[in-house]
Amino acid sequence: MKIKKGDNVIIIAGKDKGKTGKVEQVFPKTEQVLVEEVNIITRHQKNKRVRSQGQVIKKAAPVHVSNVALVDGKKPVRVGYKTEGDKKVRVSKKTGKEI
C-alpha cells in the first residue's frame, strides 16, 4: 500500500471530497485508511448500567485507499517507487521528488 500512517492526504471522491487530513491508521487487509476528522459517523450507544444513560458518539470511519491521494504541497500526487542503493523510496510521479 502506498499510503502510510502519518501521511497528509486529500479525499478525492465521496461525501468528504476536497477535505485534507492526516492518516491515523492503515488497514492493509481491507485496503482502507482512517483519516482524522474525515468520514465522521454517528453511533448510538446503549446504557451499560441500569442507572446510566445511553449516548450518541461521533467517530471517524475508514475510507478506501482508492478515494484518497497523497498531498505534496496543496495538490494531490501519484506515488511511485525508486530504489536508492538497497532502500526503496516513495517519490512523486510528476516532480520526481522524494516524499
Q: Evaluate if residue 73 carries a pLDDT over 90.
A: no
Q: How many domains does the chain have?
A: 1
60 found inside a domain: yes
Question: The pTM is what?
Answer: 0.82
Average predicted confidence (pLDDT) for the chain:
92
Q: How far is CA 45 from CA 40, 57, 86, in A?
A: 16, 7, 50
pLDDT band at 52 (very low <50, low <70, confident <90, very high): confident
State the cell numbers at 31.
485496503
97 found inside a domain: no
Backbone dihedral angles phi then psi of residue 80, each to the nearest 5 degrees? -125, 175
| Segments forming the whole domain that contains residue 40 | 8-92
Q: What's the whole-number mean pLDDT along residues 18-25? A: 96
98 found inside a domain: no
Catalogue the long-range contacts made by 53-60 (C-beta closer than 8 Å, 24 or more residues apart).
Answer: 60/24, 60/34, 60/35, 60/36
The CATH number of the domain where 52 resides is what?
2.30.30.30
What is the rounded CA–CA span in Å between residue 48 and residue 70?
A: 40
The percent of residues above 70 in pLDDT, for the chain, comes to 100
pLDDT band at 51 (very low <50, low <70, confident <90, very high): confident
33 found inside a domain: yes
